[in-house]
Structure 1
Amino acid sequence: MDPVSPVLTPDGTLPRAGRTEWVGLTVLALACLVYAMDMTVLHLAVPMISAELHPSSAQLLWVIDIYGFMVAGLLITMGTLGDRIGRRRILLFGAALFTMVSVVAAFATSTEVLIACRALLGIAGATVAPSTLSLIFNMFRDARQRSIAVGVWVGAYSTGGAVGPIFGGVLLEHFWWGSVFLLAVPVMVLLLVLGPRVLPEFRDPEAGRLDPLSAALCVATMIAVVFGMKAIAQDGLGLGPVLALAGGALLAVVFTRRQLRSSDPMLDLRLFRLPTFRTALVINMIGVFVAFGYFLFVAQYFQLVLGMSPLATGLVMAPSGLGFLIGSQLTPRVMPLVRPAYLIGGGLALTGVGLLMMTQLSASDGYGLALAASVVCSLGLAPVFGITTEMIVGSAPPEQAGAASGVSETGAELGGALGISILGSVSIAIYRGDLATTLPAGLSDDDVHSVRDTLGAAARVASELPGDLGDAVLGAARTAYLHGVHITAAIAGIASLVIAVVALRHLWNVPVLDTGEQAGDHDD
């Protein structure tokens, strides 16, 4: 099927999804869950990978980062490619590639092989988000059902992020490091088996050929920008990161000019002329940026400040994921009653409150407060991501749903990269600045350098020092780290409150959803 315009039922309404579509949504949600898990679970395996494969520090960074770089660079390209050759086809290709490469990665015998596998997994992962989202918009034409489906889609990502550390922690306690890659295999095989049966095919029948040069420019732009932002977060401003950002900006200009001159552009930039599309995209990006105000630091706070194990940390962070899941499922039921501006603005305001709660964390008894703050943030962000995602893709023509989905996910990746670079840089600067005056005497230059690098390195150095000196080093490092958390949480909280006002101002005229249907009605 290639629906370019909605097909109405005999009574003049949009067709409602039946059992096949809801089963298809379940399959898509599982794929999204695995995609999210794969972005988080590897961090728990880093110590075991280091001990087994002996990567250099640069190689280890590539193992961790190359997946995100490839995903960010290819989202728009894969979304556009799905519009042209078929969204189900590109999704199933990605699932097959993801399955095969995951098995190879699980048994990798060298760092080089593992880096190559992570890059290929990023290529495969880039097919998931835009394909699943654009398929949902074609499968669920009824507005109320579509809101519920998007809520499930958003909830799948949050659930994957929440359960990834738990499943990963269990596997790593009983098996080798490569076992974390095998988590994806059963789900992707299920997608390959059921996908052709329950997922319809959609594409734009009037789409032209994919422009390879535009695709290469898009990939190069995103990789350069994300690389520059992450490099700044890790090492601060330097020639390399600045050149990467400048190169990315130049490539973006070339890409934009090529799209404007093309009779068949890979990305129709006229989408950005749509006020709803543009505003929702900006709010979504800043929402992801704000999310890093606590995602970036809460896990480290539990592990390195409160001394919890990775598995215990995953269990403690589960309520946050549950809060996000509950919020994303409640949103469609409230949307027919409340304007999007109030839901988005209220959610961002609630998130701001949660982030400001984090400014009161302490090094000894902040467990309950951190847990409460993370749940508040999750409940606040759930309607923001669900509604803005629906507004971004829903405002685009149906034949461009894949491209709009790719833009939506690319915006989220950029928001995350901005969160890492800006909030991470602020936190590192405060951490290192405080330690310049608070570290005890008696440390070697190498130890001082390691302690000022990261809190994890400080914990390792402290464990190797004599009792009192080690305690003093660890105490100073934890205090400096918490100072950075307080400041970055305050910045993110204020940003959340500001963008809440922007949402209220610019989206106030968007009406409530009005379908007259009962939410949750999944009957054929």
Structure 2
Amino acid sequence: MTLDETADPRAAARPRGHPRRWATLAVLCTSLLLVGIDLTVLHVAVPGITRHLMPEAAELLWIVDVYSLTVAALLVTFGTLGDRLGRKRMLSAGFAVFGTASAAAAFSGTAAQLIGARMLLGVGAAMIMASTVAVIRSVFPDARERAVAIGLWTAAHSVGATIGPLVGGALVERWWWGAVFLVNVPVVAVVLVAGHRLIPESRDPAPRRWDAQGAVLSIAGLALAVYALKRLGGDGAVVTAVLGTAGIALLAAFVVRQRRASQPLLDLSLFADRRFRVATLGVLGCFGCYTALLFFLTQWLQLVAGHSPVSAGLMLAPLAAANAAGAVAAPWLAGRTGHRVAVTASLAVFAAALAVLAGYTGAPVAVLVAVLVVSGAGAGVVMTLGADIIMSAARPERAGEAAAIQETSFELGAGLGIAVLGTALAATYRAVLPAVPGLRPEEGAAARESLGAATAVAARLDHANAAVLLRATRNAFDQGFTVVMGIAAAVLVATAVLSAVLLRGGARRGA
């Protein structure tokens, strides 16, 4: 016993953690940093992917957000399987899948191959994320140390997501778009070896039964609903309606099954708490708008404003810095104003910033920087306090289930944000783009798919026709960007109103 423990009986009473707990945490945080980077690293590579693979508009959206949607769909399932089979085993398998999928994505030759590789990346990421919190709880039995560890773990994912565009810009400008995936392989190899040596095996001594039918219902329902959403505004309205209806029906069946099951895959009774519901909706909407802002603004900076990949990544640096600052300042702000006021005000500020961005025309740059700082700070506060409300609304014995829902809301928000707003932008782009003279039918059809595809077509035209095409398509993209920023602002305003009305009461001080 040390002198400190003798002087402080409370220190002696604290449970001793695993001797390699901090080294284990370093491995987990590195893996989560990589998972977070892969959520947004692709954004600056989109123009290059479009030029080389020529995906259709819906395929481009799938390339970007099939990763986060796959993670969201599988998090709870892999969490349950990790409890049964062993969390270290699940993590090691996840690292292997993630590394293999990264190599496959780097060398994809078609849009379909890249979509498949990104989906496999999502599978690996879900296996990693699903077990990390449980491992942290196992190696950090002391509540104070565990709180620090979970805070560092959460920060690793957030930092990864915010620096993704900058990392991607540097890689694309130095090599080619596949480098944003290939860089994962050596990092994963090191993490796999370190994890095998440092992470202790653990499992739930009394694991819940795995609801395979519920998992199939949730994955199939989400896939069909999102697929139908991406087809909106395109051909085949009847097929789209049928797919959408089938997806909604499967999701409804999943909800009914979970409510009746004695050991549900996802315990929906947590949503009986009003504050839990509102906080989950706030995190989903806020992170969805934040991720969509990163995605669409990165494209706008490169394809409309003419920035290089590195320059576009650097332009987003104020957003990342402000997001981190907002996350750090959130507890202090909540202590002074209460959670309800802090969340509501931050959502409103974020909405106002997006409304200003909807009318942004490229000058002056100071306006864009100010908007990004306000957006990042507002989003950082909302996501941090929203996660805190979710966790504090659940009883201690339900903390693991609440954490799974919290993680799912982040990933689902990222996927749905790009899916919904991307569909709106693509529909607006096609609707307002005029017929451009001097194009062959196949060139006109390609140009109508996306601004990236139009840029690739323009590169094969003479100077005069290229200038006409680029002017028309950039104007159409600008109008689409205005529409989606307006929609995002409206979503945030609605969420702010809900927070102001429904985030009352609760056990937390100042709420």
Output the CA distance in 1 between the equivalents of 2:277 and 2:16: 28
Q: CA deviation at 1:204?
A: 4.1
Q: Deviations over 1:93-119 (max 9, x none)?
A: 312332344345546688776555433
Q: Deviations over 1:110-130 (max 9, x none)?
A: 877655543332211112333
Output the CA distance in 2 between the equivalents of 1:433 and 1:405: 42
Residues 479 and 49 (structure 1), Cα distance of their counterparts in 2 relative to 1, 3 Å cut: closer
One-letter amino acid matched to 1:486: T
Aligned to 1:472: 468
Q: CA deviation at 1:440?
A: 5.7
One-letter amino acid matched to 1:422: V
Q: CA deviation at 1:245?
A: 2.2
SS of corresponding position for 2:183 = helix
Output the CA distance in 2 between the equivalents of 1:24 and 1:333: 30
Q: CA deviation at 1:377?
A: 0.9
The alignment status of 1:182 with 2:182, answered yes or no, reads yes
Q: Which runs of 5+ in 1 are unaligned?
A: 1-8, 515-524
The alignment status of 1:493 with 2:486, answered yes or no, reads no
RMSD: 3.8
Output the CA distance in 2 between the equivalents of 1:168 and 1:331: 29
- The answer to whether the 8 A contact 1:147-1:390 is kept is no
Aligned to 2:255: 256
One-letter amino acid matched to 1:78: F
Aligned to 2:301: 302
Residue of structure 2 aligned with 1:412, choices 388, 410, 414: 410
Residues 491 and 118 (structure 1), Cα distance of their counterparts in 2 relative to 1, 3 Å cut: closer
Residues 300 and 140 (structure 1), Cα distance of their counterparts in 2 relative to 1, 3 Å cut: same
- The answer to whether the 8 A contact 2:57-2:449 is kept is no
- The answer to whether the 8 A contact 1:352-1:492 is kept is yes
Output the CA distance in 2 between the equivalents of 1:411 and 1:470: 43
The alignment status of 1:207 with 2:207, answered yes or no, reads yes
The alignment status of 1:317 with 2:316, answered yes or no, reads yes
Output the CA distance in 2 between the equivalents of 1:465 and 1:53: 19
TM-score, with structure 2 as normaliser: 0.83
Matches within 5 A, 1:68-107: 68-103=68-103, 105-106=105-106
- The answer to whether the 8 A contact 2:230-2:423 is kept is no
Matches within 5 A, 1:28-43: 28-42=28-42
- The answer to whether the 8 A contact 2:172-2:309 is kept is no
Q: CA deviation at 1:34?
A: 0.7
- The answer to whether the 8 A contact 1:230-1:417 is kept is no
Output the CA distance in 2 between the equivalents of 1:13 and 1:20: 20
Residues 164 and 342 (structure 1), Cα distance of their counterparts in 2 relative to 1, 3 Å cut: same
Output the CA distance in 2 between the equivalents of 1:480 and 1:218: 36
Residues 353 and 473 (structure 1), Cα distance of their counterparts in 2 relative to 1, 3 Å cut: same
Output the CA distance in 1 between the equivalents of 2:78 and 2:242: 27
Return 442-451 or 76-85, whichever deviates more: 442-451
Output the CA distance in 2 between the equivalents of 1:368 and 1:213: 53
Output the CA distance in 2 between the equivalents of 1:101 and 1:272: 35
Return 138-147 or 172-181, whichever deviates more: 138-147
Aligned to 2:164: 164
Output the CA distance in 2 between the equivalents of 1:476 and 1:332: 47
Aligned to 2:366: 368
Q: CA deviation at 1:348?
A: 0.9
- The answer to whether the 8 A contact 1:345-1:501 is kept is yes
Q: CA deviation at 1:271?
A: 1.8
Q: Deviations over 1:119-143 (max 9, x none)?
A: 3322111123333345556767888
Residues 421 and 384 (structure 1), Cα distance of their counterparts in 2 relative to 1, 3 Å cut: same
Return 383-392 or 166-175, whichever deviates more: 166-175
Residue of structure 2 aligned with 1:430, choices 424, 428, 431: 428
Q: Deviations over 1:324-379 (max 9, x none)?
A: 122222324444444221221122122112112202311x5253323322221111
- The answer to whether the 8 A contact 1:293-1:488 is kept is no
Return 400-409 or 501-510, whichever deviates more: 400-409
Aligned to 1:241: 240
Output the CA distance in 1 between the equivalents of 2:192 and 2:439: 57
The alignment status of 1:505 with 2:501, answered yes or no, reads yes
- The answer to whether the 8 A contact 1:87-1:201 is kept is yes
- The answer to whether the 8 A contact 1:98-1:125 is kept is yes
Q: CA deviation at 1:24?
A: 4.3
Residues 173 and 473 (structure 1), Cα distance of their counterparts in 2 relative to 1, 3 Å cut: closer
Q: Deviations over 1:366-417 (max 9, x none)?
A: 5332332222111101121122223324444555544433333333344334
SS of corresponding position for 2:498 = helix
Aligned to 1:451: 447
Task: Provide the identity percentage.
Answer: 35
- The answer to whether the 8 A contact 1:231-1:421 is kept is no
Return 468-477 or 336-345, whichever deviates more: 468-477
The alignment status of 1:460 with 2:460, answered yes or no, reads no
Residues 331 and 136 (structure 1), Cα distance of their counterparts in 2 relative to 1, 3 Å cut: farther
Return 303-312 or 291-300, whichever deviates more: 291-300
One-letter amino acid matched to 2:33: L
Aligned residues: 502
- The answer to whether the 8 A contact 2:283-2:387 is kept is yes
- The answer to whether the 8 A contact 1:289-1:416 is kept is yes
Residues 189 and 464 (structure 1), Cα distance of their counterparts in 2 relative to 1, 3 Å cut: closer
Return 72-81 or 277-286, whichever deviates more: 72-81
Return 47-56 or 487-496, whichever deviates more: 47-56
